[in-house]
Structure 1
Amino acid sequence: MLELKVNGEVRRVSVEEDTPLLWVLRDTLGMTGTKYGCGIAQCGACTVLVDGVATRSCQMPVDSVVGAEITTIEAVEQDDVGRKVVDAWVSNQVPQCGYCQSGQVMAATALLKENPTPTDADIQSAMTNLCRCGTYNKIAAAVRLAAG
């Protein structure tokens, strides 16, 4: 039995210690906002915050995040920065298909929490999640809007 702190709540899960965090969130805890994309930590659809750091959950063994604060898309708006990011995403109508957007929002939130006034180069460097619809310009514009 492992104890995880997810979205401010302690959750007990009975899973193998090497189970990827993504599957614990989705299958065990029923938090389906975090998406499965590639399974090799390349696309970013599975991005969550672990102690405020954007983390690809598909390759993160659950036992490595015991004791850490895990934030998923389901709770990102409880944070002031996360709320600004979501508002900017809506205002800029960023999503097309929307599949990658929870991971994109989490990456943008981590960036703005670390660097509230990023340059375009900072945004390009931090926003490495893939978007098959190609909404990168809208994503960058939303990050700039959220930065204010």
Structure 2
Amino acid sequence: MARIRHQFMLDGALSRRLDELAARPGATKSAIVADAVAAWLNRRGGNELDDRFGHRLDRLTTMLGRIERNTHILIETLALFVRYELAIHAPLADNDHAGRAIARERFSAFVAQVSRQMASGRRTLGQEDEQ
């Protein structure tokens, strides 16, 4: 492989350190400088990863933030709904077997509906817009 000559300036302290390293057996100034430049360029390759994946990671971070926000909204909505339902419906008497049977049927229907919605992939919110 052909080698290309380069000329550059070093300050005095750095030049003395280079001379000390080159004085060791088997070391040359050219080899030391070539290794140093290669190491510096390889470290810059880490920035290449940021350039390649940084945008994607930023987008994923934004998406996760939205998911977290939406989850908080969903939990707050559910909590308010449960509070509202508990506040407006009086508890059933212990001996109200007919009322409890109706409640069990309604709950079973609710669970079945949620199962159907999840299995089909449909969403309840936004359905009015599609119809």
Name the TM-score class by shorter chain: under 0.3
Structure showing the higher strand proportion among its residues: 1
Q: TM-score, normalized by length of structure 1?
A: 0.18
Structure showing the higher helix proportion among its residues: 2
The structure whose Rg is larger is 2
